[in-house]
Structure 1
C-alpha cells in the first residue's frame, strides 16, 4: 500500500480508454489499496486507476456508508431521468470545480478485487462518483461534459493554474501484464 502520484490534465493516460481487468491477483489488490490510500491522502471522493498511470478499469470511491469501496470493470445503467445539480471537481485538475448536472441515480455492475460480481445502486454523491470515475476509465474528463461557456471558463482556469506549467511525469512500462501498455 502506498500513496502514489496523481496524473494531471494533459497526461495522455487520462485520455486513453482503460483495458478490462482479466487477472484478479495480488498485484490487482495492491493497486486497489494504492488507489484507496492515494484517494484518502488527497481528500478525494473517488480515484480511477488511469489517474495513477495504470490503464485498467478500476476505481475507488466513498460508498453510502462513508467507507472506501472499489469497482472493477464497471458498466453503468440505467440512469434516472431526474438530474442533480452540483459542483464537480477532479484530483487530476486540482483546485478546480464547476457546476455539472448528472443523473440523480445510477445502477453500476462490475466486480470486486477477487472477481466476484458486484452491483451498486448509487444516488446523490455516490451516483456522481460512479459516473465520474467510469468516465475516467473511458478517457473522458468531467470538463468534457460541461456546457460550452463553462468549458471555456474551465480551459482558461486550467491554463492559469500553477500545476499546468509542470512538466508531464515520465511514464515507464511495467513488465507485469496487469499494468498494460505504457502511454
Structure 2
C-alpha cells in the first residue's frame, strides 16, 4: 500500500468518465489499497480512481475510522424525490467546501473486489458520499452540482488558496 499523488482541480482528468473494471485481480486490490492510503493521508472520507489518475470505476469510503467500504463499478439504480443538503468538498480541491442539494436516499448496485454484484440502499452521509463519488466516476466534479453563482464563488476561493500557496499541489 502506498499513498499516491492526488490529481488537483482543474485537471481535465477529473472531468473524464472512468472505465469499468473488468479484471478482479491483485491489481484491483492494490489500487483499492492505494486509494485507501491516499484518502487517509489527504485526509478525506471518500476517493475514486480518477482522483489519483487511475481511470477505473473504483470508490473507497471510510465514513468512520476502520469502517472501509469499497465499491467497484458502482451505479445508482434509484434515488428518492426527497432531497437533503450537505456540505461537500474534494480531496482534489482541499480546504474548499459548499452545501450541495442531492436526493436524500439512493439504491446503488456495485461489485465487490471479488466481482460479486451487490445492491445497497443508503441515506444520510453514506447516500451523499455515494452520489458524490459516483458523479466523479461519471466525470462530474462536485462543483457542477452548484448554481453558477456559487460555483464561481467557490472557484475564486480555490484560486486564492492556490495563488497564495496555501495548498500543496501534489500532482497535475
More strand, by proportion: 2
Look up the match of 2:171.
Answer: 169
Distance 2:110 2:169 in 1: 35
Structure 2, unmatched stretches of 5+, are none
CA distance in 1, matches of 2:25, 2:48: 18
TM-score with structure 1 length normalisation? 0.86
C-alpha separation between the residues in 2 aligned to 1:146 and 1:56? 25
Q: How big is each residue's C-alpha offset from its partner over 1:10-57, in whole Å with a ceiling of 9 and x where there is no partner? A: 222111111110111101000011111111222311000000100011
Number of aligned pairs?
Answer: 170
Q: Distance in 1 between matches of 2:35 and 2:18?
A: 15
- Whether the 8 Å contact between 2:108 and 2:119 is mirrored in structure 1 is yes
Q: 2:75 aligns to what SS in structure 1?
A: strand
* Counterpart-to-counterpart distance in 2, 1:155 and 1:40: 25
After superposition, what is the alpha-carbon deviation per residue over 1:141-179, rounded to whole angstroms, capped at 9, x for unaligned? 110110121111012112212279777836xxxxxxxxx
Matches within 5 A, 1:125-144: 125-144=125-144
Shift of 1:119: 1.5
Question: Would the aligned equivalents of 1:11 and 1:168 in 2 still touch at CA under 8 Å?
Answer: no
What is the CA–CA distance in structure 2 between the aligned matches of 1:155 and 1:53, rounded to whole Å? 21
Give me the CA root mean square deviation.
Answer: 2.1
Which aligned pairs between 1:45-56 and structure 2 lie closer than 5 A?
Answer: 45-56=45-56
Deviations 1:83-119 (Å, cap 9, x if unpaired)? 1112111110100000111111111101011101122
Unpaired runs of 5+ residues, structure 1, are 171-183
The runs of at least 4 consecutive aligned structure 1 residues that moved more than 3 Å come to: 63-66, 163-170
Q: 1:128 and 1:66, CA in 2 relative to 1: closer, same or farther beyond 3 A?
A: farther
Match of 1:123 in 2: 123
